[in-house]
Chains A and B, each alone.
Chain A
Amino acid sequence: MIVNIARKELKGLFSSPMGWVVLALLQFVFATFFVMGVDQYFLTMSGSMRPDQRIGVTEFVGGNVFGIAPFIMLFAVPLLSMRLISEERRQQTLPFLFSAPLSLTEIVLGKFLGLLAFLSISVAFIGAMVLSLNLWADIDIGFALSNLLGLWLLLASYCALGTYVSSTTQQPVVAAIITFVVLLALQLIEYFLAGDPSNTVAKLSLMRHMEPFSRGLLDTRDLAYFLLFIITFLTLTIRRLDADRLRG
Chain B
Amino acid sequence: MTTITVEASELTRKYGGRAAVNDVSFTLNKGEVLGFLGPNGAGKSTTMKMLTGNLAPSNGSVKICGIDMMEHPKDAKALIGYLPEQPPLYRELTVDEFLTIAARLHRVSRQHIKKAVDIAKQRCGLTEMGKRLIENLSKGYQQRVGIAQAIIHNPMVVILDEPTVGLDPIQIRDIRALIKELGGEHSVILSTHILPEVEMVCDRVQIIHKGSLVFNGDIDVLKQQRHGNRLLLGLHHAPAHETLLAIPGVERIEAVDGKLLRIHHTPGAAPAEALVQAAVNQNWGLFQINPDQTSLEEVFVQLTFQEPAAA
Q: Which residues of A contact B (CB under 8 A)?
A: 1, 4-5, 7-8, 11-12, 15-16, 91-103, 245-246, 248
Contacts and interface: CB of A to CB of B under 8 A. Distances in A.
A94 B88 contact: yes
B82 A93 contact: no
A5 B90 contact: no
B82 A95 contact: yes
10 contacts: A12-B93, A91-B91, A95-B49, A96-B88, A101-B73, A101-B74, A101-B106, A102-B74, A103-B73, A248-B15
Contacts of B104: 4, 7
Nearest to A14: B92
Contacts of B40: none
A54 B109 CA distance: 59
Contact of A248 (B13, B80, B84, B93): B13
A96 B75 contact: no
Contacts of B46: 248
Contacts of B107: 101
Nearest to A246: B56
Contact of A99 (B53, B86, B93): B53
Contact of A100 (B49, B84, B91, B105): B105
6 nearest A-B residue pairs (beta carbon):
A96-B88, A101-B78, A93-B88, A99-B82, A100-B105, A92-B86
Interface string B79-122: 01010101011111100010001101111000000000000000
Contacts of A12: 90, 92-93
B105 A5 contact: yes
Nearest to A13: B92
Nearest to B81: A99
B101 A93 contact: no
Contacts of B92: 12, 15-16
Contacts of B15: 248
Contacts of A91: 88-91
Given A95-B84, A95-B88, 10 more contacts: A8-B101, A11-B97, A12-B90, A99-B82, A101-B106, A102-B74, A103-B73, A245-B53, A245-B55, A248-B46
Given A99-B77, A101-B74, A102-B105, A93 B89 contact: yes
Max chain B C-beta neighbours (<10 A), residue from A15, A16, A93, A95: A95
A153 B92 CA distance: 30
A118 to B, nearest CB: 15
* Size range of the chain B interface in the assembly: 20 to 34
Interface in B4-29: 13, 15
A101 B67 CA distance: 13
Contacts of B149: 96
B52 interface: yes
Given A12-B90, A15-B93, A248-B13, A95 B54 contact: yes
B143 to A, nearest CB: 14
Nearest to A107: B105
A245 B53 CA distance: 8
Nearest to B75: A101
B84 A4 contact: no
B78 A92 contact: no
A5 to B, nearest CB: 7
Contacts of B89: 91, 93
A92 B90 CA distance: 10
Nearest to B76: A101
Contacts of A101: 73-75, 77-78, 105-107
A99 B52 contact: yes
A16 B49 CA distance: 31
A248 B80 CA distance: 20
Interface string B146-183: 00010000000000000000000000000000000000
Nearest to A245: B56
A1 B210 CA distance: 39
A11 B80 contact: no
A138 B93 CA distance: 46
A8 B15 CA distance: 33
Contacts of A11: 93, 97, 101
